[in-house]
Amino acid sequence: MDTLSSLDMIFLLGGVIATAIIAGIMAGLLGVGGGIVLVPVLFWILSVTDFPPDLSMHMAVATSLATIIFTSISSARAHHKRGAVDKDLLRTWAPGIVLGALSGGLAAKYINGDGLRAIFGALALLVAINMATPKTLVISDRLPGSAALNGAFSYVTGFFSALMGIGGGTLSVPLLVAFSVEVRRAVGTASSFGILIAVPAVIGFITAGWSVPDRPPLSLGYVNLPAAAIILPFTVGFAPVGVKIAHTVDPKWIKRAFAVFLGITAVRMLMSVVG
């Protein structure tokens, strides 16, 4: 692993802190948990330090999920105070999300770094296109009444969110809005999904990476504790700021700016797989 100068370390630390602040605001604003921002930045930082490429994406995803546990709690509490968490929807989707997230965390052991980057890049690009589209896709005027369909939607949300290292909002908010759930209620409820996704997914990533060699010091499986400790105060502290923005201004332009960032990130991630 290359030796970094003190200046390099300061720039990297500053980059992580700035990213954590943005991730916290996005978690509250869009219900996305912050991982959609954290994962690519953590991956690039590990790449800069010449970290083993087969481990970089796994460590980035798992460490992001560990921080999402606490960021989602902060965001969900703030949304709950404003009455934006749909408890009935939360109870309906909770079992599928938990099972899907645990499955995703355990499955990550059998997917190499290129595979994880391809999954992240492809899904992030689809999300970016959806966020940039002025007219929201509408499938139905209500959520399906079928328990099997709700179970399938929630399982897929949990599974792919765990593999991407993100909270549930990135995938669930567009889906819920497509079924005519009011956007602030979708975002508020999705912030609670983040907790249900992150806890079982982290357990899966810790278990899957427990005996993997060449991990950095102070790591539990694929979760790096020092990196999580640096990120957490900023994501947790700034999540309520994002909630305040979500309930006071039209997030349309912020969503579009985020879509541009996410699109660029997704393309770069996909290029790193084929390059």
Least confident segment among 15-29, 128-142, 228-242: 128-142
Can you give 69-87 as a three-state secondary structure string?
A: HHHHHHHHHHHHHCCCCCH
Please give the structure tokens belonging to residue 206: 């810790």
Question: Distance between terminal CA atoms of the chain?
Answer: 22
Please give the structure tokens belonging to residue 33: 């948990």
Q: Is the pLDDT of residue 198 over 80?
A: yes
The pLDDT mean for the chain works out to: 84
Look at the block and give the residue holding tokens 């567009």. Answer: 174
Beta bridge partners of 223: 220
Residue ranges covered by each domain of the chain? 6-274
Percent above pLDDT 70 for the chain? 94
Give pLDDT tens digits for 115-162.
Answer: 888 888 888 888 788 778 777 677 888 888 889 999 999 999 999 988
| pLDDT band at 88; cut points 50, 70, 90 | very high
Please tell me the pTM assigned to this model: 0.81
Q: Distance between CA 67 and CA 137 in Å, rounded? A: 31
pLDDT at position 33 is 63
Least confident segment among 2-6, 13-17, 49-53, 69-73: 2-6
What average pLDDT does the segment 16-34 reach? 79
